[in-house]
Structure 1
Amino acid sequence: MKNFMKKISLIAVAFLAFSCSKAESEKSLKTMSIAEIATVTPELSSFVDALDVAGLTDTFKNEGNYTVFVPNNDAFANMLISLGYASLEDLEAAKPGLLASVLKYHVLTSRVLSTNLTNEATVTTLNGQNITASVVVPDPINYPNDNVISLVYPDPFDTATPPANLSSTITARDIRCSNGIIHTVDTVLLPLSVNAD
């Protein structure tokens, strides 16, 4: 996770280095929007494409106070496979508006740091549905501070293992942007209605 954060910072700083000094670059990193940070981060290129296809790019370029759980490229590839589509454009053509709904399911309307995602905290997403944060320490003896935050759709079936695409793990957290916070995740969360289709 630390390496991923370093990559994001290095890419963004390199991007800004052409136009300003190092001190200005570090300051400017926090002035970049969610969409701009994602654009200069290769691991998030599918998210950038999804924003474009869904017509949401301007939302995350403009002012705001968002927390976005940004799925990485592998997460989008796996989602397309599980839904049976070859591309984001194919998904949008077959089910107009679905991609926007799925993306909004990853957005909170306030800035929330990972330290505020306490165990079993339920938060409401931009599309009006809830997700629950679960904090887990996988190896409390050797790595007591290496906690994993999982996001889970409240399981209506009350099963031990949620259905596919109902849970996701935060892989990098607390990336501060001018208009919010980015936490990267390893799975595209799909609301239950999408899983049922």
Structure 2
Amino acid sequence: MKKVLVKFSALVLFAGTVLVSCSDDDNNNNTQQQQTIAQIASGNPNFSTLVAALNRTGLTNTLNGSGQFTVFAPTNDAFQTFFNSLGQNQNVNTVDINVLRNTLLNHVIATEIPSSAIPASTYVNTLSPISTANNAPTISMFVQKSGSTVTLNGGVDSKGAVVTTADLDASNGVIHVVNRVIQIPTIVDHVIDNPSFDTLQAVVTSTSGAFGDQSAVLTALNGITAAAPATLFAPNNQAFTDATTGTGFAVGATAAQVTKVLQYHVTTAGNVRSNQLQNNQSIPTITSPVQNLTAILGGGNVDIRDSANNLARVFQADIQASNGVIHGVNRVLRPQL
């Protein structure tokens, strides 16, 4: 009987040990938490410069907290290339802190976007504000996807980047590793980066041929500053085809007339976003003498009426740049030539 009791006690002890061990394993599994974006970056030596930049600018807590973010994370080599472009002796500790902070925010989207959800092309809003004003608009990013390749703001041939490793999942979003620091785009940069505006780019950069020398217009666009921003109504490629072929109004236009057409798409009335436009609002352009456009609102659409009473539909509103905003339109606006 004593032997039976001893064996029974040993069996109970063994069973209890197993149950406790299993319970501990379950507790460990339940309490193990997924890392945040900031924690993943801190644990990867390829992101040491990114971590230092986040710490210096006070953004670590943002990417370590609640919410859902998409972070396009430059590697150390990408940051070094960026610092080299700024001049000698520039590094994460010496670059202007405001430039560094706004540049970092230009890599962050306030929602989680896995690579599988990225369409062929789209614009997204970053967290980088155009000014220090409350509720200031934020910089737009142009995202393209071809196969599994994701390109941002035109890629390395422009001022953008390419995703090299996608979908590092975090508890508060996702990280996509990129091979360059994504610089904050100007109006001209956004035109260059979007293939839908290739013809506009070709016309503005023309120095001879069918469109003549338009270098003065390009100089004017490049001279637009954040302190005195402008708004560009940008015709897409099909709009230029319609205007310059067949019975299009710009067929046979002289260089001077092309200049006036281009100027008629720019207003220095400020950074005029679509929600600031009012129905029948007059919009002065930079033609000389000044010619006006008219905003026509209705049915949830924004149209721009030109001097010939033609309406151009805004198909892509509020492409935000550092020095102004672009609204894509489906017709070349016709001034009085």
- Normalising by the residue count of structure 2, what TM-score does the alignment of the two structures yield? 0.44
Deviation at 1:77, TM superposition (A): 0.5
Structure 1 residues 4 and 73: alpha-carbon distance in aligned structure 2, compared to 1, 3 A threshold: farther
Which one of the candidate residues 12, 20, 37 is aligned to 2:190?
A: 37
Alignment of 1:106 onto 2:268: no
Distance 1:122 1:173, change over 3 A: same
Is 2:142 the counterpart of 1:9?
yes
Q: 1:180 — aligned with what? A: 324
Which residues of structure 1 form unaligned runs of 5+?
A: 86-90, 138-146, 156-161
Are 1:73 and 2:237 matched, yes or no? yes
Q: Which moved more, 1:123-132 or 1:69-78?
A: 123-132
Residue equivalent to 2:211: none
Per-residue deviation, 1:50: 1.2
Aligned residues: 161
Does 2:123 align with 1:123? no
Q: How does 1:51-90 map to 2 (within 5 A)?
A: 51-53=204-206, 54-55=214-215, 56-64=217-225, 65-81=229-245, 82-83=248-249, 85=251
1:178 to partner: Cα distance: 1.5
Amino acid at match of 1:67: T
Cα distance, 1:154 vs. partner?
Answer: 5.4
TM-score between both structures, scaled by the size of structure 1: 0.72
Matched letter for residue 135 of structure 1: L
Q: In 2 relative to 1, CA 14–131 (structure 1 residues): closer, same or farther, beyond 3 Å? A: closer
| Aligned counterparts of 1:71 and 1:183: Cα–Cα separation in 2 | 9
Residues 107 and 84 of structure 1, relative CA distance in 2, 3 Å threshold? closer
Q: Which consecutive unaligned segments of at least 5 residues does structure 2 have?
A: 1-120, 125-139, 145-151, 164-176, 207-213
Amino acid at match of 1:68: L
The Cα of 1:60 is off from its aligned counterpart by: 2.2
Q: Is the 8 A contact 2:280 2:294 kept in 1?
A: yes
**Residues 118 and 135 of structure 1 are in contact (CA less than 8 Å); yes or no, is this contact kept in structure 2?**
yes
Aligned counterparts, 1:87-98, within 5 A: 91=252, 95-98=254-257
Q: Would the aligned equivalents of 1:62 and 1:179 in 2 still touch at CA under 8 Å? A: no
Which structure: larger Rg? 2
Q: Residues 171 and 186 of structure 1 are in contact (CA less than 8 Å); yes or no, is this contact kept in structure 2?
A: yes
What one-letter code is carried by the residue in structure 1 that aligns with 2:203? A
Distance 1:24 1:169 in 2: 34
Distance, in Å, in 2 between the alignment partners of 1:84 and 1:97 is 12
Cα distance in 2 for residues equivalent to 1:79 and 1:103 = 13
Instruction: Kindly indicate whether the alpha-carbon contact (under 8 Å) linking 1:48 and 1:57 is maintained by their aligned counterparts in 2.
Output: no
Q: Deviations over 1:171-195 (max 9, x none)?
A: 101111121100000000111x34x
Closer/same/farther in 2, CA of residues 76 and 178 from structure 1, 3 Å limit: same
